[in-house]
Structure 1
Amino acid sequence: MAIPRRTREGHILQPLYSMIALVFVLVAYIELGDAATVVDVYRLIQYDLAGSPYGSRFASLNHHAGSSLFAPGTDLSRTVAMIPLSEVNITLIREYIGQGRPLGGLLFLLPRIFSFENNDDLDKEKHGSEKDMLTSDLLDLEQTLIHAKIPYPVYFAFEDDNINSVLADVKRNDATGQPATATAAGYKLVVSAPEPRKVVSPTIMNIQGWLPGLKTDGDSNQLPTIAIVASYDTFGAAPALSVGSDSNGSGVVTLLEIARLFSLLYSNPRTRGRYNLLFGLTSGGPYNYNGTLKWLRSFDQRVHESIDYAICLNTVGSSNNELWLHVSKPPENTYIRQIYDGFSSVADELGVKVGIKHKKINISNPRVAWEHEQFSRLRITAATLSGLSTPPNFLENSGGLSDNRHFGNEAAIIKSVKLVAESIARHIYGHQGKKVEIFADNSSLAVNPSYIASWLDLLSQTPRVAPFLTKNDPLVIALKKELGEHTTEVNVQNEVLDGVFTFYDSISSKLYIYQVASVTFDLLLLLVLGSYLITLFSFLVITTRGLDDLISLFRRPPSRKVKTA
C-alpha cells in the first residue's frame, strides 16, 4: 500500500524540525551558559521617609557589565557599572545620580578588609592603615546613596579572585572602545529577585534587667535607681551588612560587662549597694530613639521617680584617650556637675580625657540628637557618654559598612567599662573624689577582656537593622539570656516602630555572572549550522526518496477545484 504524500513529507520534515530546535538551544546555551561565578550581593537600603522615596528602588538585574559610568556618548541604560571602592569618584557619582542619567545598575566592590566574616585572617597592621584610607570614601559613598532616590538596582559585593578576574576582563573590553552591549561579547550580570515589598508593622524590641539594691528593714521609701542604657540596633546603606561594631556594638558590650561586674558585687550582701541598677538595651536608635521613648513611657510612676540619673553609652570604642559627656542641662547644674566630676576623676586615673558638651533641647523639634534627650524630655537627669564630640547627622554613625571591626578597639572598650563602672560604684558607696579602686585588675571584680572580645566578635558579625529583626531573632534571644545571667526580672518589650519610615525587603541575593558571546558570533554559528542542516536534509531526502521528492517538498501544491452543484 502506498504511503500518502503528506505522511511521507511529515516523516521527512520531522528530523528537520528537531534539528532547527537544536540550533536554537545551542545558540541560547552560548548566549547564557553556566555562570562564570556566583557572588553574594547586598542591596542598597530602600525606604520611604514621610512618603518620599530613598535608596535603591529595584532589586532584579539582567544587564551586561561595564567598568565605568563616564564613557562619553555611551548609552548605559542596559549596563551595570562595576566600581571598586578604591576607584570611586564621589563627586562624579553625585553628579551622575543627581542628574538622573539612565543606568542598568550599580555594583560597588568592597575590599575584604570591610568584610565582617574574614577580619581574623587579615594582617591587622598591614590592612589597618589601608582600611583607614578607604573608610572616609566609604562613608561619603554611603551617605550619598542613602539620601538619594535611585531608580535602578544598587548592590555591594566583596572582592575576591573570581570577581576581580571578571572586572579585569570587563576593563579590557571597555578599553577597546566597544563596551559590552546586547550585540557585543562580555559578561552579563543577573540577579533574580522579586519586586521589593513593604515591611509591614516592623517591630522594635527593648530588653531590660534589674539589679535590686539592698533595702534594710528601716527603709520605707523605694531605693534610688541608676540606669545604664545602650541602643543595640543599626542602620546602614546595606542592611544585610550593618553590623555596627562601634555604633553601637561597643556600647552594648560595655553595658553587658558592667552588668556582669555589678552582679558579682551585688551577689554578696556585704557589698550590695543601696541603689537599684536598671540595664536597658533599646531598639530604634537610628530612628529618633523611638524604642527608648516607648520604653520610658512604659515605666510606672514609682520607677520614673526613683531614677537618680541615667548613663547612655554610644560609640565608646573608637578612642582610647578621649570621651565626651553630652548633657541637656547646663554643666553648672548640681546633678550634672556631680556626674561629670565623678567621671572626670576616674578618667584622670585611667589616662583618659572626658570633656563635657551641653546641647539644649528644642521642645518644638521632635528630633533628638542623643539618647539621653529622650530621658531629659521626661525630666529625668541623663547624659550620653560617647567618643563623638558632636551629634551625628540624621541616619549617620549608626552601623555603616565601614563599622564592622576596629582593630584594637577592645582596649578602648575596657577603659570605658572601667570608667563607667568605677564612677557609678563610687557614687553608690559614697567614695566620690577618692582613689578607691573597686574593680581592680588583680581582683575577682576585674574587667574580663575575653568576655568583651567574644561579645564584640558576635556583634561585629551580626547585622541588626530593627525593621528586619523578628521577635524570635537569635540575637535578641542571646542578649536577653546574657542579661538574665547577671540581672533579675529580665523582660523584652515588643513595640511597633512608628514614625515616618517605611522599609522594603529583599536586602540580599545571589549575583550570577555569565560570560556571553557576541550576536555576530551567534549569527555566524546559526548560518553555518543552518547551511549544514539544509545540506544534510537534502542529502537524506535524495538518497532515500529521490530528487523528485525533494523538489516536490518545495513545489507549490496545485490548487483544488471546488465542484459546484
Structure 2
Amino acid sequence: MQMEVLRDLVDRGAGSLLLLLPQNFSDIHGELAQQWRELERSILSQKIPIPVYLSLEEETLGVIHDSLASSAAREKHSTVTASLWHILTGYGYQMISEDQKEAEVVKDSHVVTLVGKLAGGLGVQQRLPTVMVVAHYDAFGAAPSLSSGVDSNASGVAALLGLARLFSRLYRDVKQKPRSNLLFVLSGGGKLNYFGTKSLLEEDNDDLDSLIHSSDYIICLDSLAATAASQSCDQSHDESHDQSHDPPHSLTVHVSKPPKEGSKAAVMLDLLNRSFSQLSSGPLRMVHKKIRLSDDLLSWEHERFSLKRLPAATISALCHHGDPRRQSMFVNSDHIDVEGLTQNVAALADGLARYLYNLSSLLGTEGEREGGERMATLPTVSSEYVSAWLDYLASHSRSPQLLTEDHPLVTGLYQAMSQSLQDVTKLVQRPEKSDPEFVLYHIPQTTLHAHKVKSPIFDLFVAVGVALYLCLWYSLIEFFPWSAVGFIPLPLKVKSSKS
C-alpha cells in the first residue's frame, strides 16, 4: 500500500485505518521491504487526522480481509442490478476499539546509560590517555512494541560487548595491559537525539568527566551488519571522497571534521583503515558532514562529542544518516550479515589493539613481523557470542519508553558489562521538567472487536418495508374493517355472575 492510497481513504471519509503487518518480517525482502519502510516513514513524518492501528496478521483478521477484498472485487465488475442486490444481501464489518482513551504521557520519563571501563597500567588512571567505544541500544519504529532494531542498533551493541569481552582478557594480564584506559558506553535515548550521550557529557562526575575529556579518540558504532547497505554515497553527501573504487560492502567513517595529519585521531583512523583492509570487507571510506546548529536533530552520535570539541567518529555500514533502516521495524535477523559483523568486530579489535600498544611505528617497516607476532596474542572474536547477542536483542522491543531502569534487557546488558569491565555504572538520566527535550507516551495497545453488520442501505430498505407493512394494516383496519375481521382476533366478552 502506498501513502497516496491512505490519503485517498482519508479524503473519502474513513474514520480510522487498520494496517495489517506481516506475521513474520523475515518474509519481507528486496523491493517489498523498501516499500514497507517508505510507508512507515510516511506515516511517521506526515500528519494523519484519524487513528491508525497496526496489527500483525492473524487468522481472524485474514478472514475479514479476504471477505472484504472478494466483495470489493465482485462489486467492481458487476452490473448495477447485481451491485444493488449485493448491497441488500451482503454484509460488512464494524471495528470497535476496546479502549477509546488517548495515549498518556509517561510521568517519569528517563533513559538509562551504562558505563564501564578497563583501567590501563603503569600510571595514575585519570592521567592516562583514554579511548572510548560508544553505542546506543534503543530502537525506533512506527509500532513501539514491534521495534527491535536488529541492525540499528543491536549490531552496534553486540560489537561493543564483543570488544569489551575480548579486551578484558588482555587487561587481566599485567604483562599485556596497555598504558591507556578503555571506556565503554551503552547510551540510552539514541533515538531521542542522543539524549543519553548529551547527559553523560553534562554529568557531574569528576572521574567520568576526566576520562571522557582526556580521550584520544571516541568511536561510535551504529548499524554495522547491513547486508545491503547504501553503497552509493551521493556526492552531495560526501564531497571529500570518491566512492567509484569502494568495495561493495566497505564500512563508512562519519566525521564532523577531517582529522589533522599526524594527530592522534589521524593515527587511529589510519590503523583502523589498515585493519579493515586486512581483516574485513575493505578499507574504510570517510564521509565528512558538518554539524548544522540550526538543525533540530543530530545525524550521528559522534556529533554530540564533536560539539564539545572532542575527537570522535561514527563507524557504520550505512553511508547516509537518512537511511530508512535506521528508524524502521522492518529489519530482522535475516537482513543482516552475522559473519560480516564478526569480521568487522575483529577488525575494530585489531585496529584498537595496534593503537593501544603503540604499534603504529611498526606498520609498514621491518618490524611489522614483530608486530604481527604480538597481535597474535589478541583473542579471536566469537561469532557465536555476537550472534547470541543479536538474537537476544532482536527478541526484545527496544523503544525508549519501554527501557526503564528495571527493564530485563537493561539488567541483562548491565550484567554482561559487569562480567567484562570494571566499575560499571548505571546512570538514570531524566529530561528537565520545565523544558523537556523529549516527551514519551505509554504504548497504546487495544483490542479491536469486529462485528458483522449489514449495509446502512439495507437498514433503510428494512425500515421502508416495515413502514409499508404498518401502513397496509392501518389502511385495512381504518377503511376496510370488514376485510380484517378474519385476520384480527376480536376481544372476548366474559360475563360475570353475581354470587
TM-score of the aligned structures, taking structure 1 as reference length: 0.69
1:267 aligns with 2:203: no
Is the 8 Å Cα contact of residues 132 and 212 (structure 2) preserved in structure 1?
no
Residue 154 (structure 1) shift: 1.1
5 Å-filtered alignment, 1:107-186, equals 107-114=18-25, 127=27, 130-177=28-75, 185-186=91-92
Please state how far the C-alpha of 1:90 moved relative to its aligned partner. 3.3
Q: 1:439 to 1:187 in 2, by over 3 A?
A: farther
| Contact 1:261-1:445 within 8 A present in 2 as well | yes
Answer yes or no: is 1:414 the counterpart of 2:322. Answer: no
Corresponding residue pairs, total: 427
> Is 1:303 equivalent to 2:211 in the alignment?
yes
Structure 1: stretches of 5+ with no match in the other structure? 1-87, 120-126, 532-545, 553-565
Q: Which residue of 1 aligns with 2:115?
A: 208
Residue 523 of structure 1: CA displacement?
5.7
* Residue number in structure 2 paired with 1:542: none
Question: Take 1:466 and 1:158, find their aligned partners in 2: how far apart are those partners?
Answer: 21
1:113 CA drift (Å): 3.4
SS of residue in 1 equivalent to 2:161: helix
Is this contact kept in 1: 2:280–2:340, CA < 8 A?
Answer: no
Distance 1:174 1:359 in 2: 50
Tell whether 2:238 aligns with 1:346.
no
What residue in structure 2 maps to residue 481 of structure 1? Answer: 415
Aligned-partner Cα distance in 2 for 1:500–1:382: 23
**Secondary structure of residue in 1 paired with 2:446:** strand
Contact conserved, 1:308 with 1:381, CA < 8 A, in 2?
Answer: yes
How much has 1:418 moved relative to structure 2?
Answer: 0.7
What's the offset of the Cα at 1:362? Answer: 3.4
Cα deviation, residue 399, structure 1: 4.1
Deviations 1:100-133 (A, max 9, x none): 553121122222331xxxx5xxxxxxx4xx5222
Partner of 2:318: 388
| The structure with more strand, counted as a fraction of residues | 1
| Seq. identity, % | 31
Match of 2:306 in 1: 376
1:364 Cα deviation from its structure 2 partner: 5.5
- Whole-angstrom CA distance in 2 between matches of 1:139 and 1:368: 21
Matches of 1:401 and 1:550 in 2, distance apart?
79
Q: C-alpha distance in 2, partners of 1:181/1:222?
A: 81
Q: 2:372 aligns with which of 421, 436, 456?
A: 436
Q: Aligned equivalents of 2:493 and 2:427: distance in 1?
A: 83
8 Å CA contact 2:121, 2:178 repeated in 1:
yes
**How far apart, in 1, do the equivalents of 2:269 and 2:5 lie?**
46
Equivalent residue in structure 1 for 2:129, among 197, 211, 224: 224
Aligned to 2:13: 102
| Shift in Å, 1:343 | 1.0
CA displacement, residues 26-45 of structure 1 (integer Å, 9 cap, x when unaligned): xxxxxxxxxxxxxxxxxxxx
Are 1:245 and 1:406, in contact at CA under 8 Å, matched by a contact in 2? no
TM-superposed deviation, 1:386: 0.6
What is the deviation of 1:507? 3.2
Q: Is the 8 A contact 1:252 1:281 kept in 2?
A: yes
The 2-side partners of 1:283 and 1:511 are apart by 33
Going from structure 1 to structure 2, the CA distance change for 1:181 and 1:445 (only over 3 Å counts) comes to: farther
Q: Which runs of 5+ in 2 are unaligned?
A: 76-82, 228-247, 471-488
Tell me the equivalent position of 1:290. 195
Counterpart Cα distance in 1 of 2:176 and 2:420: 16
* Structure-2 residue corresponding to 1:510: 447
Secondary structure in structure 2 of the residue aligned to 1:436: helix
Name 1:456's counterpart in structure 2. Answer: 390
1:332-390 deviation line (CA, Å, top 9, x unaligned): 44233212211111111124231011222334556421111111111211111011112
Counterpart residue number, 1:11: none
For the 8 Å contact 2:140–2:329, the answer to whether it is kept is no
Q: 1:484 to 1:183 in 2, by over 3 A?
A: farther
1:188 corresponds to: 94
Aligned-pair distance for 1:221? 6.7
Indicate how the Cα distance of structure 1 residues 305 and 170 shifts in structure 2: closer, same or farther if over 3 A, else same: closer
Q: State the distance in 2 between where 1:198 and 1:375 align.
A: 30
Tell me which amino acid in the other structure corresponds to 2:94.
K
Does the CA-based 8 Å contact 1:376-1:382 persist in structure 2?
yes
- Cα RMSD over matched residues? 3.2
C-alpha contact (below 8 Å) 1:317/1:387 kept by paired residues: yes
Query: Shift of residue 430 of structure 1?
Result: 1.7
Q: Indicate the larger mover: 174-183 or 507-516.
A: 174-183
Give the TM-score, by structure 2 length: 0.77
Quote the offset at 1:139 in angstroms. 1.3
Query: Match of 1:223, as an amino acid?
Result: L
Q: For residues 518 and 94 of structure 1, what CA distance do their matches in structure 2 show? A: 24
Return the alpha-carbon distance in structure 1 between the equivalents of residues 301 and 7 of structure 2: 32
Q: Tell me which amino acid in the other structure corresponds to 1:306.
A: S
SS of the aligned residue for 1:447 comes to: coil
Contact 2:338 2:383 in 1 (8 A): yes
